[in-house]
């Protein structure tokens, strides 16, 4: 006779709740009516009318929106610390639960392995002693902490265990299993409650049979009190250490977040200073590999652009105010003169014909001067407006020769010369531009020399192409006068700026209209800029001032036939112009 392994249990079929059974009633159930949906109204909400607009948000949506708004109203530092703390708490909780669960499974597994080792031997020993074996039964030497329960088919039951074990772990209450139930649970340990609260036992059951006939069951168990106490202690330790880690993590996270957000507080302080009017403030720099560094660099770039734009706007407004004031002042003088002479004439103070003639001559001069100023202002306004120009091929050598001819007619005592640039022979230098405007440039430059240099000061005009800038033509107007002081050289191209601000000079040579009011050089700069050129000042070797104008050379075939004809015509004139200018220079 031996304890044989149990057959695998079979699962029985059970009826599902609500499933109809045969013979449940005397007649078949009548078909149920199709349910009709009935609108349900929520207390506090108006029912939606047919064809009305979108439905009113539900209470859950409103609560979610309020919670989201409240969350967004929390400072970023508090939100980050809260998120860090919550993630740390969740991580520690998951780690603690996992650790406690795995530890409990491991310790229970050890108990199961002990049961697997001893229980089968004890059950076999007990079965042999019941059926004639001379050896004592298992109950006579049950190991420490083990409990042995033997039950026969007649209802007899024997429980073997030590009193010390019962006092420490309590008395188990194993189920009274039949041989069939024992076979169903054989070799699969199961938990059994204990008389001591918070403690339980682990049992495994075997069936006893002889000659193929079941005669009883043997159940062997071990207490789980040590396992449960160990798991509780570990859980308490994990909980205590986890709370400490969460507190330390919250403090460390608060410090780290505060330190990380310090640049943002500095940015906030800088923005407040800028809002107060200090546009020179900049955000403290940080490595651009970080988000704060990239944000700071972007903000500093934006602040630099804002400061530059504000400075340009301030300077533009200052120039505009100065421009309006200067224009008003320049117009006030001739208007006052005309008004004064008119009052003298009306009062009869001019009795002699010579007085009348002199008065009208002065009125005419004032009107001419005022008209020239208005023309200059209109010319600058047109240039600022960017109106299209009548482009053609223009030879700078021809313009220079014409200007020197006008200068010779105006002041025959001056020595003049037309030269090639950098000592090279004089050649045609054809540029693409508006001939009328370029003539005004040359006329204003020559007239400026006449106004600001003593009588008889030599004047030289040089035309050519520079070697270091082959795509540009150059026109230089050189004088050998007193020159311009460095503090004035940077501002001579400003509108209404005069080196000698104490008096206003009138008239320009060669038909220039920019003299006296301080607009001549400003018109030169505006015209050259409109032609995508450059104008600059330099010191003439030996004393004096040189004004250099660089203009892009004309490209062959880029202008119309008319421009080509003008270029051909202009190309035939430099030799004549050079001979005229040279003869004038030799004569004086």
Structure tokens at 475: 């026109």
Strands 416-420 and 459-465: parallel
Structure tokens at 307: 């400061």
pLDDT tens-digit profile, the chain (588 residues): 444 444 433 333 334 334 434 433 434 444 454 454 444 444 444 444 444 455 667 888 888 888 888 878 888 888 889 999 999 999 999 999 999 999 999 999 999 998 888 877 777 777 666 655 544 444 555 677 888 888 876 666 666 777 888 888 888 888 888 788 888 876 789 989 988 888 899 998 888 777 667 778 888 889 998 899 999 999 999 999 999 999 999 999 999 988 888 888 888 888 888 888 787 888 887 788 888 788 888 888 888 888 888 888 888 888 778 777 777 877 787 888 888 888 888 888 777 888 888 888 888 888 888 887 788 777 777 777 777 888 889 999 999 999 998 888 888 888 888 988 877 788 888 998 989 889 989 988 988 888 888 888 899 999 988 766 778 889 999 998 888 887 777 778 877 777 664 434 443 333 333 345 677 888 888 889 888 899 988 888 888 889 999 999 987 654 444 433 433 433 334 444 444 444 444 443
Between the alpha carbon of residue 138 and those of residues 127, 187, 225, the distances in Å are 9, 19, 24
Strands 190-193 and 200-210: antiparallel
| CATH of span 388-587 | 3.30.565.10
* Residue found by looking up tokens 């740390």 in the block: 88
Question: Most distant CA pair in the chain: distance in Å?
Answer: 174
Structure tokens at 131: 């059926």
In CATH, the architecture of 281-387 is Orthogonal Bundle (1.10)
Q: Which long-range contacts (CB under 8 A, 24 or more apart) does 378-382 make?
A: 379/440, 379/513, 379/523, 379/526, 380/495, 380/519, 380/522, 380/523, 380/526
Structure tokens at 264: 């943002």
HSE at residue 544, side-chain half, CA atoms within 13 A, is: 20
Tell me the three-class secondary structure of 437-466, residue by residue.
HHHHHHHHHHHHHHHHCCCCCCEEEEEEEC
CATH class given for the domain over 134-225:
alpha beta
* Residue found by looking up tokens 């001559």 in the block: 361
Spell out the domain ranges in the chain. 134-225, 281-387, 388-587
> Does 388-587 match 134-225 at the fold level?
no
Between the alpha carbon of residue 507 and those of residues 161, 225, 325, 367, 443, the distances in Å are 135, 119, 22, 13, 12
Nearest to 530 by CA among 560, 555, 551, 515: 551
Strands 200-210 and 213-223: antiparallel
């Amino acid at each position: 006779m031996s304890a044989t392994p149990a057959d695998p249990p079979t699962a029985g079929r059970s009826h599902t709740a609500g499933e109809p059974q045969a013979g449940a009633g005397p007649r078949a159930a009548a078909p149920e009516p199709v349910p009709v949906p009935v609108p349900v109204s929520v207390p506090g909400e108006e029912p939606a009318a047919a064809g009305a607009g979108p439905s009113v948000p539900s209470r859950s949506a409103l609560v979610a929106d309020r919670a989201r708004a409240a969350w967004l109203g929390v400072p970023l530092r508090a939100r980050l610390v809260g998120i860090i703390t919550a993630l740390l708490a969740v991580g520690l909780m998951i780690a603690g639960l996992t650790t406690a669960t795995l530890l409990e499974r491991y310790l229970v597994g050890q108990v199961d392995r002990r049961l697997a080792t001893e229980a089968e031997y004890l059950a076999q020993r007990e079965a042999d002693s019941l059926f004639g074996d001379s050896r004592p039964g298992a109950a006579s030497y049950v190991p420490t902490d083990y409990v042995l329960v033997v039950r026969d088919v007649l209802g007899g039951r024997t429980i073997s265990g030590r009193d010390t074990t019962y006092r420490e772990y309590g008395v188990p209450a194993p189920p009274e299993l039949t041989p069939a139930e024992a076979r169903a649970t054989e070799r699969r340990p199961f938990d059994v409650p204990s008389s001591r609260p918070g403690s339980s036992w682990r049992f495994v059951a075997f069936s006893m049979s002889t000659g193929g006939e079941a005669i009883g069951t043997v159940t062997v168990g071990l207490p789980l009190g040590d396992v449960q106490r160990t798991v509780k202690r570990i859980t308490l330790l994990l909980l205590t250490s986890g709370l400490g880690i969460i507190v330390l993590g919250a403090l460390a996270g608060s410090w780290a977040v505060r330190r990380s957000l310090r640049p943002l507080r500095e940015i906030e302080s800088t923005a407040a200073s800028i809002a107060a009017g200090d546009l020179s403030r900049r955000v403290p720099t940080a490595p651009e590999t970080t988000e704060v560094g990239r944000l700071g660099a972007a903000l500093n770039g934006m602040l630099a652009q804002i400061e530059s734009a504000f400075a340009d706007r301030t300077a533009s407004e200052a120039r505009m105010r100065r421009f309006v004031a200067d224009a008003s002042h320049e117009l006030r003088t001739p208007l006052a003169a005309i008004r004064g002479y008119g009052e003298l004439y009306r009062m009869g103070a001019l009795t002699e014909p010579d007085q009348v003639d002199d008065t009208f001559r002065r009125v005419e001069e004032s009107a001419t001067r005022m008209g020239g100023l208005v023309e200059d202002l209109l010319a600058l306004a047109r240039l600022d407006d960017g109106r299209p120009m009548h482009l053609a091929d223009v030879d700078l050598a021809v313009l220079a020769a014409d200007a020197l001819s006008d200068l010779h007619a105006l002041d025959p005592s001056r020595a003049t010369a037309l030269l090639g640039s950098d000592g090279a022979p004089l050649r045609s230098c054809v540029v693409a531009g508006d001939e009328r405007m370029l003539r005004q440039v040359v006329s204003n430059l020559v007239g400026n020399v006449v106004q600001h240099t003593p009588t008889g000061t030599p004047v030289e005009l040089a035309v050519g192409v520079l070697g270091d800038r082959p795509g540009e033509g150059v026109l230089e107007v050189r004088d050998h006068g007193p020159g311009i002081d460095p503090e004035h050289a940077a501002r001579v191209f400003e509108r209404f700026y005069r080196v000698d601000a104490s008096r206003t000079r009138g008239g320009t040579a060669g038909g220039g209209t920019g003299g006296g009011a301080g607009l001549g050089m400003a018109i030169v700069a505006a015209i050259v800029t409109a032609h995508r050129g450059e104008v600059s000042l330099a010191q003439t070797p030996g004393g004096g001032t040189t004004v250099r104008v660089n203009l892009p050379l004309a490209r062959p075939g880029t202008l119309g036939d008319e421009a080509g004809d003008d270029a051909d015509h202009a190309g035939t004139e430099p030799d004549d112009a050079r001979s005229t200018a040279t003869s004038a220079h030799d004569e004086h």
